[in-house]
């Protein structure tokens, strides 16, 4: 009869952020280091903004935060990349799929000027509309913002739409709020 060994450690969910001047191989280096500590990528987003590469990754690893930090530290040793590693505490927060009101896209475009994002996101915050993803682009003098937002079932969409239109007019841009068709896997 064998005696059971110690229970395997629970795998930690760890948030990793990396930012720095873009070059080929960053993703391979980061994911290779994470694989070296048996890190399993769960959720990630990566983007290139004016020559700066940025990534945010949620990784699950039994090795723990210190081992993940140690595995990634060589990537930051020459100062070209900034790497941050931190634990994700507690259970996952409800995402857009848990909100009965649904998922919407906010699309904004118009002449660039300071305060566009602040004005429109303040409206969303007042109505407890959660921003799930937000991206902006500046092309010449045209500013474009696209946001995926999660809306609770008790949110008055007509009021949100009206306030977004008022805020957009105040900063000289156009805004649209459109429902998103859900994907079924």
pLDDT tens string 34-54: 999 999 999 999 999 999 999
Average pLDDT of 157-162? 97
More confident residue, 127 or 2: 127
Gyration radius of the chain's alpha carbons = 21
Do 146 and 134 contact (CB within 8 A), yes or no? yes
pLDDT of 4 above 60: no
Q: In what order do the strands lie in the sheet with 102-111?
A: 130-139, 142-151, 102-111, 173-179
Q: Which of 80, 20, 18 is nearest to 44 (CA)?
A: 18
pLDDT of 3 above 80: no
Q: What is the mean pLDDT of the chain?
A: 90
pLDDT tens string 57-113: 999 999 999 999 999 999 999 999 999 999 998 776 655 445 567 999 999 999 999
Domains belonging to the chain, first-starting first, are 12-87 (3.30.70.260), 96-179 (3.30.70.260)
Q: What is the pLDDT of residue 6?
A: 39
pLDDT of 56 above 70: yes
Share of the chain residues as helix, strand and coil, in percent rounded to the nearest 5: 30, 40, 30
Q: What is the pLDDT of residue 94?
A: 59
Judged by DSSP in three states, 70 sits in helix
b/e string for 48-87 if b means 16 or more Cβ within 10 A?
eeeeebbbebbbbbebebebbbebbeebeeeeebebebee
Q: What is the pLDDT of residue 11?
A: 82
User: Residue 10's pLDDT band (boundaries 50, 70, 90)?
Assistant: confident
pLDDT of 129 above 90: yes
């Amino acid at each position: 009869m064998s005696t059971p060994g110690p229970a395997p450690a629970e795998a930690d969910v760890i948030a990793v952020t990396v930012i720095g001047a873009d070059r080929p191989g960053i993703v391979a280096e980061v994911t290779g280091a994470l694989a070296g500590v048996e890190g399993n990528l769960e959720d990630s987003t990566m983007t290139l903004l004016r020559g700066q590469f940025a990534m945010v990754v949620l990784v699950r690893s039994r090795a723990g935060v210190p081992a993940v930090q140690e595995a990634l530290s060589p990537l930051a040793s020459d100062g070209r990349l900034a790497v941050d590693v931190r634990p994700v505490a507690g259970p996952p927060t409800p995402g857009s799929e848990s909100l009965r009101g649904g998922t919407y896209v906010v699309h904004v475009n118009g002449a660039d000027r300071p305060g566009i994002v602040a004005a429109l996101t303040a409206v969303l915050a007042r109505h407890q509309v959660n921003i799930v993803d937000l991206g902006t682009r500046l092309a010449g003098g045209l500013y474009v913002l696209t946001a995926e937002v999660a809306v609770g079932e008790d949110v008055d969409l007509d009021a949100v739409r009206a306030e977004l239109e008022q805020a957009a007019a105040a900063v000289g841009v156009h805004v649209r709020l459109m429902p998103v068709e859900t994907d079924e896997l």
